[in-house]
Amino acid sequence: MGRRKKLGEILVDLKVLTPSDVERVLRALDRRTDRQKFGEVARNMGLVTEEQVLAALAVQMGLFHGIENWTLEEILNRLVSCGSQQ
């Protein structure tokens, strides 16, 4: 099993963020004294939505088989369909 991708890397793979956006978020995180997470800071900066962060977390956790090859839209559709079945 390989290393777990970081959230910023996944958001770049999903074409939500650019590498320069990730750098901006990482610089903002370095300046913070509290323990905010990457997704929180990116959302507070207006770079991502909560849904996009949740989709990236689903990829990071390997929530569905083969999810790392899905598009953002495919991931969000699957998450919505799973949520509506409960």
Q: What are the domain boundaries of the chain?
A: 7-84
Q: 42 burial class (0-12, 13-18, 19+ CB within 10 angstroms)? A: buried
Summarised one tens digit per residue, pLDDT across range 12-61 is: 999 999 999 999 999 999 998 888 999 999 999 999 999 999 999 999 99
Asked if 60 and 4 count as a contact pair (C-beta separation under 8 A), the reply is yes
pLDDT for residue 82: 86
- Cβ-based neighbours of 60, under 8 Å, separated by 6 or more: 4, 5, 7, 10
Closest CA relative to residue 14, chosen from 39, 41, 45: 39
Is pLDDT at 2 greater than 70 in this prediction?
A: no
Asked if 54 and 60 count as a contact pair (C-beta separation under 8 A), the reply is no
Phi, psi of 42 (to 5 degrees): -60, -40
